[in-house]
Structure 1
Amino acid sequence: MSPNPFSKTIPFRPGNPTHLLNYMSLGDDSGAVLLDEQALRILKKIQEPIAVITVVGSYRRGKSYFANTLLGRHDGFKLGSSVDGCTKGIDIWDTPFYHKDKRVVVIDCEGIDDPNQEVPWANKLFILCLAISSTLIYNINGIIGRDDIEKLFLMTKIVSLIQPPNDHKFLPNLVVLLRDFQLDSPPDFVEYFLNRLSKVNEDAAKDITKFFKKFNVYGIPHPGIRQDAMRNMSEVDTDQLDPSFVEKIEEAVTNIFDDLHPKYLNASPMTGVAFAEFLERCVVQINDPSNTMLSIPSAYEATISYAAQKAYESCLELYNEMMDHMSLEGFPISWDKFEDVHNTAFEEALKNFIQQIIGSVDQIQTFQKTFRDKITDIKDQFYMKNSSAMREYHEGWAHKLWKEHVAHGLEVENLFDTDQFEEAIALFEQAYETKVMPGQEAIQVLNEFKTNQYKDAIKLLNTYGILREERANEMLARQEAEKKYYEILQEEEQLKAEINNVKIENEKVQNQLEEKVKGMEECLRNQEQQIREDCQSRLNNMQDQLIRTLEKKPSFWDSVKDLVGSVAGANVLENFL
């Protein structure tokens, strides 16, 4: 069957539903939540910040259909026409889609009051949805009855079974859908909803405003089609639906996406790997019979550590690959090129690492320090390989050039005189200089020649009387002085290079950390701004409602006139006044 788009206003999202988790009953009112590995793999592939929209609520109330409209389609998640719930466990859309710098995952949850459910499963299901969602859509009957209100009150009490991280900012945006709403639309659905809620259960209304800093309410009218067509909503054409139904669906979906934020861990948005780990940690806690609460802090800490470990693995591998590519060209390479390749690889690996890690600023700084230490260890391994190749390279050339310029004049039948020897040494050093790759290895090899070959040659010529004792000692002293000079020069150059390299790395780390912290601060500001705007909007609506109420309320004397009941009586009163 071909896909069935909902409307042009809501983008059509290709894909199919797939199972995320289910519940296995173990008897005696106990059971275990089971995660699907294929669905977890889908989540782990998400590299952008992840946002999760979960649709929950009563079974057989169009919950799955609304989940489909979030995808811009009538079909998608399975719909049913029987009295039994259709969705079992939790299904996700297998193709997370991109929306405003984040990847969106839509979740369709089993009806929370399915008569075939076990009570522990219903509670665990709802707790899990509260913990993992960015936006939780609660789908209930448009005519708010006592039963619906009691379910909402139960929802707020379930929140108390979650140990929060210092506050309730981990809770999702709450959206309440009033389905088949037949009354005239109130000026403000949120105030209408809270008023209805307060009349039956004041605590429920207070808890919702306390726990959910951002929530909205939408009245969705009846689709306006016959009962037989309602049984096949996945196949219906949008033109068959009541325009007001389509309009309200479009309005709700558009606003839900406008208000959608990533799933945060503290001030850091989670990516797929972190979210999948967080989900698994929550499931482990829920399945533990000794746990009476879902501890968000412990799940957070485990997720933070896991995300850091995965970031270490992937980013160190990236650094290794880039450095390996350099080594394929063959060692030795110049130290300038070595540092250029390292800096490029380090910057790329660091950028990816900082993007992947989550947690507080202090935790992030600790992670990056550990990461940098690990990078240094890997760099040192490549350094030793290149240094060894460098030494071998210079030793090879030194021996070759010594043989070419000096060795033949140290044979007994061809011994140099003093001038010839000094000229040969000068030619050797000049030729060596043309082959040198700058670095400590070149100086070390030359100094070793001064210590060994030079001394042996001078002693040989001195033994045969070609060099006088004074001249030989003078040459040995000069070679020793040059050796020490080059050693000092080598140490100085090496120290300068190390300082420069550390400076470059520090700048890269500082820039990446500043960008990360700036992003976290921006996330916090956006969250706080969103809360302030929502509170101000509610306050404005309450003031408007109060003004409308006062305008409609009759004055005292108008009431007296009405009580008099006649124009004449009213005139008498007016004359009296």
Structure 2
Amino acid sequence: MDSDIHMPGPVCLIENTKGQLTAKQEALELLSAIKQPVVVVAIVGFYRTGKSYLMNKLAGKNKGFSLGSTVQSHTKGIWMWCVPHPRKSDHTLVLLDTEGLGDVEKGDNQNDCWIFALAVLLSSTFVYNSMGAINQQVLDQLHYVTELTDRIRTRSSPDQNELEDSDEFVSFFPDFVWTLRDFSLELKVNEELISADEYLENSLKLIHGTGQRDKEQRLNLPRICIRKFFPKKKCFVFERPAHGRKLGQLESLQDQDLDSDFIEQVAEFCSYVFSCSKVKTISGGISVNGPRLKSLVATYVNTICSGDQPCMENAVLALSRTENAAAVQKAIAHYDRQMSQMLKLPTETLQELLDLHRTIEKEATKIFMEKSFKDVDQEFLTKLGAELEKKQGDFCKKNLQASSDCCSTLIRDIFGPLENDVKMGVYSKPGGYCTFNQKIQELKKKYYQAPRKGIQAEKTLQKYLQSKEDMIDAILRTDQALTQREIQIEVERVKAEAAKNTAKIMEDMQQKNDQLLQQKEKSYWERMQQLTEKVQKEQAQIREEQQRATEHKLQEQARQLRENFQQENKKLQDEIKILYEREASRRCVVS
């Protein structure tokens, strides 16, 4: 589905049956096939407010998400439609249409709250759809946003309080778009034209001066939450699309049958969503693709069904464990593939094998670093290191065996004729030992000159010669041309040579062990260097997220201070005006 996403229509992503939410397997499998980054647009609002119509337009269709033409809520649960992104190549647009809030047939406000929370958690652009102007009644209906602190946690820390938790929402929450349907008012303030965005900002100004603190807090809570939680806000107003019974036939109506201003407003809305909606990301700036979105859906729904609060940190960690395990396997697969293609056994030296291992290990670790994230305590990097170290050990064993097999075959070919001559008694005569010894030296030279014997060459040869000591000793002792003293000297020489060869073999073994330890240490520090670079990059991303959240918080505080100042200033001006009026009245009385 990377290059050709074909979904002829929406499918149910999260089913809502009698208040029980269930992630649908068919939809999850569709998501798992989308390897591209996803831009997720979710729409929420009260039923029969035209949400599905806007989503169909974003999909480039007139039909798809069920519109319904009665007073009943049509969409149940959350439905999904994945289409190629019209503006961003190699991206997928995931549209989520939610069931209408406030459905009288459902009678379960808690269920609405979870649908609202899931739409926020899963989207990169969150569209809230309502009818008419923004007034206190509409804001009161948006109580779902005020309950998010009771529904969502950013971190799993048990001592994290709600206030601190909600302060971090801005780092993870989607952009907020408010669509106002059947809007008939003029966008004017103090007789001056304003934009829809300015209208939204004015509507979200805090209320002061009622004289009732509790009432002010209640009225301002939805305003505060929207301003505080969502990093970016946008507003669109739509005139009534048609009149009379035509409204129930929007799916079948052509553009010429609809109000021209409405058509233009819908086009402007779609253009904004296509151009400005970001790729869904999770903590650390990690882009979300289909499989990652699938994991988030499953984790959040399962958590809700278990009676717990969805926690963004836990969802990311659950996702990271799955992906980090897959990253380990991809890294190991690369290592196995490259080693099988490039390694020719036996290697001439151990260092040749270690150098190749180190090069491919570095590539494999790089693949892991690129594919992994949130590897707590480097659990999966440690697993990868241990697995690669084991594989290096396995290749070293294979290399030893290949060298031993090669050398044994070579020895049979070179020394086989000599053994036959010994059996035939060729060297059982005066001067035979000297001739035999000369032959041994010639054959050893031939053996040493043979290429690609590997690191077991000396050990295998010495092992062979040791196995023939009785045969060599018999030839030595039967040589009638040698005196007893010469035989004794030769025996001592042979023992000394054997001891020297044994010492050399032990030295080679120690050298190989030292090489392996050095390789292990180099591999460790190279992994640590790659890890340091990755951690620095992740920390920079986290600092950037925190800075954005802090800037948003400071901007909101500054805005609130300005509003408070303006309110106090107005109050002061009103008091001055009253004083002037009293003074004017007093003068009139005196005169």
The range that moved more, 535-544 or 119-128, is 535-544
Deviation at 1:432, TM superposition (A): 1.8
Equivalent of 2:198 in 147, 169, 188 = 188
Contact 1:191 1:542 in 2 (8 A): no
Alpha-carbon distance change, 383 to 63 in structure 1, aligned in 2, over 3 angstroms: farther
Contact 1:179 1:221 in 2 (8 A): yes
SS in structure 1 opposite 2:44? Answer: strand
* TM value normalised by structure 1: 0.78
Asked if residue 150 in structure 1 is aligned to residue 157 in structure 2, the reply is no
What do the CA deviations read for 1:217-240 (whole angstroms, capped 9, x no partner)? Answer: 313222655556653257644996
The range that moved more, 432-441 or 106-115, is 432-441
SS in structure 2 opposite 1:530? Answer: helix
Counterpart AA for 1:208: I
Partner residue in 2 for 1:464: 478
Deviation at 1:151, TM superposition (A): 2.7
Alpha-carbon distance change, 209 to 111 in structure 1, aligned in 2, over 3 angstroms: same
Deviation at 1:365, TM superposition (A): 1.9
Partner residue in 2 for 1:136: 126
Contact 2:39 2:94 in 1 (8 A): yes
Alpha-carbon distance change, 444 to 110 in structure 1, aligned in 2, over 3 angstroms: farther
Distance in 2 of aligned mates of 1:14 and 1:542: 48
Q: Residues 174-323 of structure 1: matches in 2 within 5 Å?
A: 174-180=175-181, 181=183, 182-184=185-187, 185-186=194-195, 188-195=198-205, 201-210=219-228, 212-222=229-239, 224-226=241-243, 230=247, 231-233=249-251, 236-237=254-255, 241-242=260-261, 245-246=265-266, 248-250=268-270, 252-253=272-273, 256-257=276-277, 260-265=278-283, 268-288=286-306, 291=307, 293-323=309-339
What do the CA deviations read for 1:541-576 (whole angstroms, capped 9, x no partner)? Answer: 7799899999999999x989x99xxxxx9xxxxxxx
Gaps of 5+ in 1: 1-11, 26-30, 564-568, 570-577
Contact 2:14 2:77 in 1 (8 A): yes
Deviation at 1:396, TM superposition (A): 1.2
Deviation at 1:398, TM superposition (A): 1.7
Equivalent of 1:56 in 44, 48, 53 = 44
Alpha-carbon distance change, 434 to 24 in structure 1, aligned in 2, over 3 angstroms: farther
SS in structure 1 opposite 2:445? Answer: helix
Counterpart AA for 1:219: F
Partner residue in 2 for 1:446: 461
Alpha-carbon distance change, 389 to 292 in structure 1, aligned in 2, over 3 angstroms: closer
What do the CA deviations read for 1:467-507 (whole angstroms, capped 9, x no partner)? Answer: 6210231133123203312431343145335524652x346
What do the CA deviations read for 1:232-286 (whole angstroms, capped 9, x no partner)? Answer: 25764499642751464156425642xx253314665555444433322222222
SS in structure 2 opposite 1:138? Answer: strand
The aligned length equals 540
Counterpart AA for 1:245: Q
Partner residue in 2 for 1:22: 15
Partner residue in 2 for 1:358: 373
Q: Residues 412-451 of structure 1: matches in 2 within 5 Å?
A: 412-415=425-428, 417-437=432-452, 439-451=454-466
Q: Residues 24-39 of structure 1: matches in 2 within 5 Å?
A: 24-25=17-18, 31-39=19-27
Deviation at 1:324, TM superposition (A): 5.3
Deviation at 1:22, TM superposition (A): 0.4
Q: Residues 84-123 of structure 1: matches in 2 within 5 Å?
A: 84-95=72-83, 97=85, 99=88, 104-119=93-108, 120-123=110-113
Contact 2:404 2:456 in 1 (8 A): yes
SS in structure 1 opposite 2:13? Answer: strand
SS in structure 2 opposite 1:440? Answer: coil
Distance in 2 of aligned mates of 1:76 and 1:284: 28
Distance in 2 of aligned mates of 1:174 and 1:244: 22
Deviation at 1:175, TM superposition (A): 0.8
Deviation at 1:379, TM superposition (A): 3.8
Counterpart AA for 2:12: H
SS in structure 2 opposite 1:468? Answer: helix
Q: Residues 356-435 of structure 1: matches in 2 within 5 Å?
A: 356-359=371-374, 363=376, 365-404=378-417, 408=421, 411-415=424-428, 417-435=432-450
Partner residue in 2 for 1:483: 502
Alpha-carbon distance change, 391 to 104 in structure 1, aligned in 2, over 3 angstroms: farther
Alpha-carbon distance change, 319 to 274 in structure 1, aligned in 2, over 3 angstroms: farther
Alpha-carbon distance change, 287 to 550 in structure 1, aligned in 2, over 3 angstroms: closer
Alpha-carbon distance change, 423 to 106 in structure 1, aligned in 2, over 3 angstroms: farther
Distance in 2 of aligned mates of 1:321 and 1:208: 52
Alpha-carbon distance change, 105 to 431 in structure 1, aligned in 2, over 3 angstroms: farther
Contact 2:325 2:380 in 1 (8 A): no
Partner residue in 2 for 1:6: none
Distance in 2 of aligned mates of 1:236 and 1:333: 74
SS in structure 2 opposite 1:401? Answer: helix
Distance in 2 of aligned mates of 1:345 and 1:116: 62
Counterpart AA for 2:205: N
Partner residue in 2 for 1:473: 492
SS in structure 2 opposite 1:413? Answer: coil
SS in structure 1 opposite 2:409? Answer: helix
Contact 1:64 1:79 in 2 (8 A): yes
Deviation at 1:366, TM superposition (A): 2.6
Distance in 2 of aligned mates of 1:554 and 1:208: 29
Contact 1:462 1:469 in 2 (8 A): no
Counterpart AA for 2:462: N
Deviation at 1:109, TM superposition (A): 1.6
Alpha-carbon distance change, 419 to 532 in structure 1, aligned in 2, over 3 angstroms: same
Distance in 2 of aligned mates of 1:372 and 1:268: 24
Alpha-carbon distance change, 178 to 130 in structure 1, aligned in 2, over 3 angstroms: closer
Counterpart AA for 1:216: K
Distance in 2 of aligned mates of 1:223 and 1:14: 33
Alpha-carbon distance change, 338 to 271 in structure 1, aligned in 2, over 3 angstroms: farther
Distance in 2 of aligned mates of 1:427 and 1:342: 37
